[in-house]
Structure 1
Amino acid sequence: MLSYPREDLIAELAKHSRYIVCARVTKRPIFAFVDATVRPNDMVQVFAFDDDYSFGVLQSGIHWEWFTNRCSTLTERFRYTSNTVWDSFGTRQSASAATAR
């Protein structure tokens, strides 16, 4: 059980059959689809998208460059933060950034 229920996130994920995740702290973010029945914890960055296009955007070299220039770090590892990386990344998905937390 999570320390707080994140009802807004869970409601958004329920609209999809899968969603995209990556580790919040990593040397290189690897994005993956996760079944919507899986409940994420705070160590996972969640993107409430179930389409291959969004997955491709997240895996792209442009997103990687943006990520490495905008993120914070924890020792030598990058830390993905939705407010400094995703919210400022100019894509059509940015309107749904509140769900990418």
Structure 2
Amino acid sequence: MGLFGNKKKAEDCAATEATLSDGTTIAVARSVDCIGDSCPRPQLMTKKAVKEIGSGEVVEVLVDNPSSVEALPPMCDEMGAVHVETIQAPRCWKVYIRKD
């Protein structure tokens, strides 16, 4: 157990899909659950997940912290990734990031 207890880790989500607002369906290689986390944890977990996936694969980040939602898209350039879309869900935002 760490300083703040057992925390969720980035998890592989084999063969999961997400539908974007334009109706396009994308495959999600990894999902990162940052519900209840505040900055900088969502950013650090997202960077780690993007490092671990292959080129062209997509990470789905679940966040409920508005400042994290705003911080994730601008950091895509430094991660070698592209912000695909952010979708507001009932209890969180889903941020989709594709690795270049």
Structure-1-length-normalised TM-score: 0.25
**Per chain length, whose mean CA-contact separation is higher, i.e. which structure has more relative contact order (CA < 8 Å, sep 6+)?**
1
Which structure carries more helix by proportion? 1
Structure-2-length-normalised TM-score: 0.26
